[in-house]
Amino acid sequence: MYSSDTTKYLIHIHLFAEGVVEKPDVVGAIFGQTEGLLGEDLDLRDLQRTGRVGRIDVHIASKKGETRGEILISSSLDRAETAVLAASLETIDRVGPCVAHARVERIEDIRVTKRKQIVERAKELLLTHFDETAIDSTELLDDVRESMRIEKIGVLGEERVPAGPNVHESDAVIVVEGRADVINLLRYGIKNAVAVEGTKVPAVIAKLCEVKTATAFLDGDRGGDLILRELLQVADIDYVALCPRGKSVEDLTRKEIIKALRNKMPVEYFREQLDEGKEPVPEKVEIPVKEEAEVIVSEVSGEEEVSRVAEVTGPTLEQQVREVEGKKTARFLDADYGLIAEVGVGKVEDALETVDPDTAGVVLDYPVDQHLVDAFLAKGIEFVAAPEFKEIVKRPLSLRLMKIKKV
């Protein structure tokens, strides 16, 4: 876009055209309508030829018969010359056959931006790249508490497979791959995990799965796939929780673990996906408004941690569903179903233009069609909950379509 050696300023221009235009049309309009406007010294073609102005970078998109976007022009002129050049670009009133409007949004001083980057990087280096000499009492206490949790790991059966302390008491078990996975789940208060410890499923795990609700939660690699296939053959698995591809359960954060367990799939649905040769993902989920799902979390009280079965998926999502019911509104939610923004259903597409980066899903009291599905997919939305999905021809794998079911 610009030469870091000579560029001083970067001109940001917002462009609006009352019609559909393309990048060559914009570039042609810039050169054509500024030619001879400022005299020979500030002629845009001469400035580019001598390297005092960089290439014209155009980013535009057309929607509903209108074109909007941004024009970026780098300059090595002085401040006054750059300001005059920028102002001349606001005289552009047509692009191709269309009426157009150009407005300078800001003139960025590249050197100031670099200095800010230097300061931020220096702060980071100061905090992370010097040997720590001070004693952090909080860190010491956390290390001690973690060691206490790890010491609670037990073993089961003649195979002596690693297991959390609540495996026998709990009505549900989480089957993981190895001891390190059990430790990581225990670190976040999940105490009913049991490890396979190899590709051969121990008999004690098969017996546990017969009498308890079993969720398979294995690494997102080839080894995890093989163990899961064997589990499905020799054990009575009820649910499958998918670990992100390329990651191991032992490396997941608490948020990633809870999210994976929350999105667990019934084993029947998982088998159907495998039989059809598809990547098993939660494609479409019925959400009963009063029905609640289970996942193991922890509840901290003082210095003691009590593991329990908590209704994580149902109540939070149900609350958001009830908040939009009958109001013809849409709610943008984060990964934990917390409210980020609420708009009328007619303004959803406009809200997507400035959607918060933390937005993970949308709950609507309005039918969703293919056009809206494509718009959500383009913005990286992970799930959409609505009372109806109409004429969905192309169903994306990375977007969960969740139909609200009133019971």
- CATH code where residue 93 lies: 3.30.70.2690
Strands 239-242, 213-218: pairing kind: parallel
Task: Say if residue 195 is exposed, middle or buried (CB neighbours under 10 Å; 0-12, 13-18, 19+).
Answer: buried
133 is a domain residue = no
How is residue 59 annotated by DSSP?
A: E
218 and 310 together in one domain: no
128 is a domain residue = no
From 282, 317, 345, the end of a domain falls on 282
The answer to whether 241 and 259 are in contact (CB under 8 A) is no
What the block records as the tokens of 78 is: 């002085």
Measured between alpha carbons, how far is 206 from 89 in angstroms, rounded to an integer?
73
Quote the pLDDT of residue 126: 82
What is the domain-level CATH number for residue 212? 3.40.1360.10
393 is a domain residue = yes
Cross-strand partners of 194 = 163, 175
The answer to whether 197 and 162 are in contact (CB under 8 A) is yes
How is residue 166 annotated by DSSP?
A: T
What the block records as the tokens of 195 is: 């490890």
100 and 160 together in one domain: no
Measured between alpha carbons, how far is 323 from 320 in angstroms, rounded to an integer?
5
What is the domain-level CATH number for residue 309? 3.40.140.20
Task: Say if residue 119 is exposed, middle or buried (CB neighbours under 10 Å; 0-12, 13-18, 19+).
Answer: exposed
From 241, 256, 282, the end of a domain falls on 282
Measured between alpha carbons, how far is 59 from 26 in angstroms, rounded to an integer?
10
Residue 366 sits at φ, ψ, to 5 deg, of: -170, 140
Nearest to 364 by CA among 315, 323, 405, 309: 323
CA 202 to chain centre: 37
What the block records as the tokens of 121 is: 């990087």
274 and 301 together in one domain: no
347 and 305 together in one domain: yes
Q: Residue 400 belongs to what H/E stretch?
A: strand 400-405
The answer to whether 284 and 401 are in contact (CB under 8 A) is yes
Residue 60 sits at φ, ψ, to 5 deg, of: -135, 160
235 and 338 together in one domain: no
276 and 359 together in one domain: no
174 and 262 together in one domain: yes
Measured between alpha carbons, how far is 394 from 21 in angstroms, rounded to an integer?
28
Three-state DSSP at 153 gives coil
123 is a domain residue = no
121 is a domain residue = no
| Predicted TM-score (pTM) of this structure | 0.39
Quote the pLDDT of residue 135: 58
261 and 157 together in one domain: yes
Block residue for tokens 């017996």: 207
Q: How does pLDDT run across 343-379, given as a tens digit for each residue?
A: 988 888 888 888 888 888 899 988 888 888 888 888 8
13 and 102 together in one domain: yes
Nearest to 216 by CA among 181, 261, 174: 174
Q: Which domain holds residue 326?
A: 295-405
From 257, 282, 307, the end of a domain falls on 282
pLDDT tens digits in sequence order for the chain, 407 residues long: 445 556 889 999 999 999 999 999 999 999 999 888 888 888 888 898 888 898 899 999 999 899 999 999 999 899 899 999 999 999 999 998 999 999 999 998 888 888 888 888 888 888 887 765 555 666 666 666 555 555 578 888 888 888 888 888 888 899 998 888 888 888 888 888 999 887 788 888 888 888 988 898 988 888 888 888 888 888 888 888 888 888 888 888 888 888 888 888 888 877 777 666 665 555 444 444 443 333 333 332 222 232 333 333 344 677 888 888 888 899 998 877 888 889 988 888 888 888 888 888 899 988 888 888 888 888 888 888 888 888 777 777 677 888 877 65
The answer to whether 105 and 14 are in contact (CB under 8 A) is yes
200 is a domain residue = yes
344 is a domain residue = yes
Three-state DSSP at 223 gives helix
204 is a domain residue = yes
276 and 326 together in one domain: no
Measuring CA to CA, how many Å separate 251 from each of 127, 174, 226, 256?
Answer: 24, 16, 20, 10
310 and 271 together in one domain: no
The answer to whether the Cα torsion of 36, 46, 78, 68 is positive or negative is: positive
272 and 299 together in one domain: no
Q: Residue 351 belongs to what H/E stretch?
A: helix 348-353
Strands 295-301, 284-288: pairing kind: unpaired
Quote the pLDDT of residue 370: 87
Domain count, the chain: 3
